Amino acid sequence: MMWKSRVGEYIEGKINEGELIHLSLIDPAKVQDLRSLPEMVRRLADAGTDAFLVGGSIGVSESDVDSVVTVIRESNKPVILFPGNVNGLSRMADAVLFMSLLNSDDIYYIIGAQIVGAPIVKKYGLEPLPTAYIVVGYGGTAGFIGKVRALPIEKPEIGAAYALAAEYLGMKYIYLEAGSGSPQPITPQYIKYVSSTISKSHLIIGGGIRKPEDIVKIANAGAHIVVTGNIIEDDLSRAEELIRTAKRFK
């Protein structure tokens, strides 16, 4: 229970030190064989990832989340849930991105799932990290399942308006999501526009990050946190390289 209620503080401390935070995303629905997970987790942790995100949009059961989180905990890095729905919660984790999918057309993803899930978060003693989730461009499965009206990538002022509204509502983290497996990450121009509009919230960027240059561009554009997911399963050595690139950034 070493991270209980201290994950936000840990992230904040690193951001205040000027570090770029790297999060490794594991989707429990995509874990084929739990026996190969400890080695994968060890390599990501050794490369320097700051914490693990666990979640997905489809095919996730609470018992699978429990199993995956139990393995990842051995790394001693914080385990943060990234729930696509209420079934993404696990009492084994340390914290949860308590998200509202702001550009969904379905009120369920904006406040419905949250009211169903909040008492569970409390009961499990998970640390809630208040997060605005905003899908930009491609969207992928999260966009489809979340009934998203994706923001046009060529109009960063719309993303900035969402981010500012989220900040004014007190959301501490703003997650700009291109969609898992997106052909490309959110552009540096877009990130720069949003990051220069907000002043207090921390900007998380994810979706389609595959190259070290992507990390450098995203960091230079003002992101505080980067997330990589698919690359872990596709090319673990490349995933390690991305982490090392992120952690060299200061």
Q: Which residues bind ligand 1GP (CB under 6 A)?
A: 25, 142, 177, 180-182, 206-209, 227-231
User: Strands, DSSP E only, in 3-107?
Assistant: 21-26, 51-54, 79-81, 95-101
Instruction: Provide the minimum distance between the beta carbon of 210 and ligand 1GP in the complex, in angstroms, as a whole number.
Output: 7
CA atoms lying within 13 Å on the CB side of residue 70: 8
Instruction: Provide the minimum distance between the beta carbon of 232 and ligand 1GP in the complex, in angstroms, as a whole number.
Output: 8
Q: What is the number of the residue whose Cβ is closest to ligand 1GP?
A: 206
Residue 7 or 209: the one with the smaller Cβ distance to ligand 1GP is 209
| 177, 133 contact by CB (below 8 A) | yes
Tokens of 54: 């666990």
Residue 9 or 202: the one with the smaller Cβ distance to ligand 1GP is 202
Residue 71 or 101: the one with the smaller Cβ distance to ligand 1GP is 101
Q: How many CB atoms lie within 10 A of CB 32?
A: 8
Instruction: Provide the minimum distance between the beta carbon of 139 and ligand 1GP in the complex, in angstroms, as a whole number.
Output: 10
Burial class (CB in 10 A: 0-12, 13-18, 19+), 70: middle
Instruction: Provide the minimum distance between the beta carbon of 123 and ligand 1GP in the complex, in angstroms, as a whole number.
Output: 26
Residue 6 or 110: the one with the smaller Cβ distance to ligand 1GP is 110
Instruction: Provide the minimum distance between the beta carbon of 136 and ligand 1GP in the complex, in angstroms, as a whole number.
Output: 11
| 202, 161 contact by CB (below 8 A) | no
Residue 128 or 185: the one with the smaller Cβ distance to ligand 1GP is 185
Alpha-carbon distance of 72 to 19, in angstroms, equals 23
Alpha-carbon distance of 175 to 171, in angstroms, equals 10
Residue 230 or 245: the one with the smaller Cβ distance to ligand 1GP is 230
Instruction: Provide the minimum distance between the beta carbon of 57 and ligand 1GP in the complex, in angstroms, as a whole number.
Output: 8
Which residue(s) pair with 74 in the sheet?
A: none
User: Strands, DSSP E only, in 43-193?
Assistant: 51-54, 79-81, 95-101, 127-135, 173-177
Instruction: Provide the minimum distance between the beta carbon of 224 and ligand 1GP in the complex, in angstroms, as a whole number.
Output: 14
Residue 187 or 228: the one with the smaller Cβ distance to ligand 1GP is 228
User: Strands, DSSP E only, in the chain?
Assistant: 21-26, 51-54, 79-81, 95-101, 127-135, 173-177, 202-206, 225-228
